[in-house]
Amino acid sequence: MATSAPGGSRVILRRLREIMAVGDDVQSRLDRLVAMIAATMVADVCSIYLRRGEALELFATVGLRAEAVHRTRLNMLEGLVGLVAESARPLNIPDAPHHPRFSYRPETGEDPYNAFLGVPVLRTDRVFGVLVVQNRVAKTYDEDEVEALQTIAMVLAEMVAGLSGDRSFLAEVEVRPSRPERLIGRAFSDGIAIGVAVLHEPHAPLGRMIADDPVLETARLNTALHSVRLGLDAMLESDGSRLSGASREVLETFRLLAQDRSWEQRLKEGIGAGLSAEAAVERARQQHRAKLSSVRDPYLRDRLHDLEDLDNRLLRSLAQSGGLGRTEMPANAILIARDLGPAELLEYGTDRLKGIALEEGGPSSHAAIVARALGIPMIGRLQDLLRRVEPGDVVTLDSELSEAHLRPQSEVLASMQQRIALRSEQAAEFAKLRDLAAQTLDGHGISLSINAGLALDMRNLDTAGAEGVGLFRTEFQFMVSETLPRLRAQTKLYAEILDLAGRRPVTFRTLDIGGDKILPYVTAEREDNPALGWRALRIGLDRPALLRYQLRALVEAADARALRVMFPLVANIEEFDAARAFMQREMDLAYRKGRAGPTSLEIGAMLEAPSLGFVIDSLAGRADFLSIGTNDLMQYFFAADRGNARVSDRYDLLSLPALRFLRQIARDAAAARLPISICGEAAGKTLEAMTFLALGFERLSMPAGRVAPVKRMVRSLDRRAAAAAVNALLDAPTVRVREALLTFAQGAAVML
């Protein structure tokens, strides 16, 4: 058979390109195409079925009766053609009429044909058609024939997509998603956005699907494979252990897969069949995604995810070597990704990025924290997002409803535009609060600060009308660097932050890594439960050089200014004493060297481990202040991993156990005369913030965009009345706390 050699496939692809390039109408081109495939593959029948609406319609054939074209329609689960579409895999059988899924259609005249080979026509991971060849003789097509037909189907998909502008002929043919869709996810960062989709993961350039020089394409593939393998080796093998943002297990899997000769051989077979290097990888990715949609076993799904991620790495390497790089960002980009790291997000910049939509992700991820700091709306956990969206699609994001609209109707767009206008008006109203005091109706002054982690966050101090930075996360500088930031670089950043803050206080949290935040230059081992493992201050105490290096940079950066430092995840008094001793050593060193050092030094502890909440009295005289990190404190308090979608929503901070614990912490801190603040994400939610004030807290730190709404709430609140109401709720044996708090706020005219 002509296609049994790689040269045969190249001939077919070249002829395919020639047919589709001719300016005939679509039907004529499809008719010529099936005739060419049948002749080249020595087949008695070649047919193209495309999905129109909810059926697979015969669009072109040679061998079956011509009158069956556009007349024969199979539902998506009907017949052998439906089986191919359903499974997204080739079907190769010698005796089709006796297969249990065979569906006889008398108008086709396919009675004499026995051998059947059908392959899905895939675009992204969506099946929108089936390509079939048949023969009278009962036979099983060999692997080369199957491979050839799959290759043709892949190029056919892109070429038909290029013809989809002919809506009269291809009406309702879903070559690419075109219908409006609404996806419900979870809001990770507040805001409303309208823009066009930009895919984070690369795609093969559609204009270069077919290549005429297999030697050149194989060389390009070899170079890209070598680059990917070297990169993975470098992550894992620096002085015996080198980790990246993914876990060691995942990276080890990547490395094994990258060395898989069968995967490499399949890519090279694609090139031998006439595809470009990018198209060969694209074909592999489409096959992996198609299989993923039908696999339910968690282990197999993880392996297919790994394969797809590896395909993406290889495509990125090919794009860079080909000088293609990242696509130019439109002025209103909505970034589409499966998941995203903070460094990847920062690479896109902020001037053109209007929103982010993720198929996975989590609200406590560092990418989500960065998005909130930048004021970029982010919606995550949008099921099947990647297979439902195309580059350039109009996308809207709505954090209030936690939803995304793909290719929205005009009514939806108009509604979103009105809401954006209303939010702009509301922002103008909030701006009027900027210079007003955060004081309750009964005269209690409340301190409102912002959370930050980047130098660009500091611009929000003035616009938000905040009193200072209640939490500066220092780990972002470490996470976006491939090597440990030098002392000079750290000192420069901290000095810049203090300069930008002016006279307003900044509380620096020392390096909070571990768990899901792994640095490539910090040795770590795989842990069964990393959230409860070697992380935060525990790493600093076990690797004192790392902690002292950072403390030295903070002391030098202060340079005759006030300095506030707090240690994360302090679990007991001994840990705090040990960390404070390291700070004292750095202070002594600075004085011995004749440096100015800070004019004043305050050292605090983050109350995230519940254990520390029971020894607050012992911290008196040791710590200068405390700060509650609600995200971690609540996950440990309720034994529910905040990064696990199955359990992260199973508890409510506004519940009896959580609020009773927080009330006791507030009372113990007051008795010990220890200033205490709340700097978790909950501090920026108006109902939660009202409750914290009622419990006795007076210092809140939150994302900059939440300062104005919380200040408005504060200025509408009678704190004494709120305290009486909340304490009565907490002293009741059982109550629906959130509902009761909302009822109180409505009755007291609190502006939430």
The least confident of 228-232, 283-287, 552-556, 633-637 is 283-287
pTM for the whole structure: 0.65
Q: What is the pLDDT of residue 123?
A: 73
pLDDT in tens, 261-276: 777 888 888 888 788 8
- Mean pLDDT score across all residues of the chain: 84
Both tokens of 406, joined, read: 């793909």
Q: Could you count the other beta carbons within 10 Å of the beta carbon of residue 404? A: 28
Residue with the bigger pLDDT between 158 and 38: it is 38
Helix spans in 275-341 (H): 277-294, 298-321
pLDDT at 130 over 90: yes
Q: What is the pLDDT of residue 179?
A: 79
Which CATH superfamily does the domain covering 185-201+333-419 fall into? Phosphohistidine domain (3.50.30.10)
3-state secondary structure of 748: coil
Of 487, 12, 470, nearest in space to 209 by CA: 12
Both tokens of 474, joined, read: 């220092």
CATH 3.40.50.12280 fits 432-747, yes or no: no
pLDDT in tens, 486-512: 899 899 999 999 999 999 999 999 988
Q: What is the pLDDT of residue 28?
A: 86
pLDDT over 90 percentage in the chain: 44
Q: What is the pLDDT of residue 132?
A: 96
Is 679 tagged catalytic? Answer: yes
Q: How confident is the model at residue 236 (pLDDT cuts 50, 70, 90)?
A: low
For residues 391 and 473, what is the distance between their CA atoms, to the nearest angstrom?
A: 34
Helix spans in 43-142 (H): 79-87
3-state secondary structure of 752: coil
Residue with the bigger pLDDT between 480 and 399: it is 399
Of 60, 58, 66, nearest in space to 37 by CA: 60
Q: Output the CA–CA distances (angstroms, integers) from residue 259 to 286, 307, 357, in the order listed.
A: 20, 12, 32
Q: Could you count the other beta carbons within 10 Å of the beta carbon of residue 528? A: 6
Of 708, 709, 682, 711, nearest in space to 695 by CA: 682
Q: What is the pLDDT of residue 362?
A: 77
Q: What is the pLDDT of residue 169?
A: 62
3-state secondary structure of 539: helix
Residues whose CB falls within 8 Å of the CB of residue 451, separated by 6 or more in sequence, listed in order: 373, 469, 470, 471, 472, 473, 679, 701, 702, 703, 704
Which CATH superfamily does the domain covering 206-321 fall into? PtsI, HPr-binding domain (1.10.274.10)
For residues 550 and 579, what is the distance between their CA atoms, to the nearest angstrom?
A: 12
Residue with the bigger pLDDT between 172 and 624: it is 624
Q: What is the pLDDT of residue 324?
A: 45
The domain segmentation of the chain, as residue ranges, is 2-163, 185-201+333-419, 206-321, 432-747
pLDDT at 241 over 50: no
Extended strands (E) in 455-505: 469-473
Q: What is the pLDDT of residue 52?
A: 84
Give ∠ CA 455-456-459 in degrees, rounded to 5. Answer: 110
Q: Which residue has the tokens 């004019």?
A: 599
Q: What is the pLDDT of residue 577?
A: 96
Q: What is the pLDDT of residue 168?
A: 57
Identify the H or E element spanning 371: helix 366-374
Which is the catalytic residue, given 200, 288, 366, 405? Answer: 366
Q: Could you count the other beta carbons within 10 Å of the beta carbon of residue 199? A: 17
Q: What is the pLDDT of residue 380?
A: 92
Q: How confident is the model at residue 308 (pLDDT cuts 50, 70, 90)?
A: low
Q: How confident is the model at residue 125 (pLDDT cuts 50, 70, 90)?
A: low
pLDDT in tens, 246-257: 345 555 665 666
pLDDT at 259 over 50: yes
Cβ atoms of 378 and 360 closer than 8 Å: no
Q: How confident is the model at residue 685 (pLDDT cuts 50, 70, 90)?
A: very high
CA 350 to chain centre: 17
For residues 632 and 610, what is the distance between their CA atoms, to the nearest angstrom?
A: 9
| Section 673-701 average pLDDT | 95
pLDDT at 301 over 60: no
- When the candidates are 3.40.630.30, 3.30.365.10, 3.30.450.40, 1.10.8.420, the CATH number that belongs to 2-163 is 3.30.450.40
| Section 299-306 average pLDDT | 56
pLDDT over 70 percentage in the chain: 82
Measured in degrees and rounded to the nearest 5, phi and psi for residue 71 equal: -105, -40
Segment of 142-156, 243-257, 725-739 carrying the highest mean pLDDT: 725-739
Q: What is the pLDDT of residue 9?
A: 65
Identify the H or E element spanning 189: strand 186-189
For residues 650 and 330, what is the distance between their CA atoms, to the nearest angstrom?
A: 39
pLDDT at 239 over 70: no
Is 46 tagged catalytic? Answer: no
Q: What is the pLDDT of residue 321?
A: 64
pLDDT at 1 over 50: no
Which is the catalytic residue, given 46, 288, 405, 679? Answer: 679
Q: What is the pLDDT of residue 387?
A: 78
pLDDT in tens, 580-639: 999 999 999 999 988 888 999 999 999 999 999 999 999 999 999 999 999 899 999 998
| Section 135-146 average pLDDT | 90
Q: What is the pLDDT of residue 520?
A: 55
Write a three-state SS string for 582-644: HHHHHHHHHHHCCCCCCCEEEEEEEECCHHHHHCHHHHECCECEEEECHHHHHHHHCCCCCCC
Residue with the bigger pLDDT between 421 and 382: it is 382
Cβ atoms of 416 and 398 closer than 8 Å: yes
Q: What is the pLDDT of residue 636?
A: 92
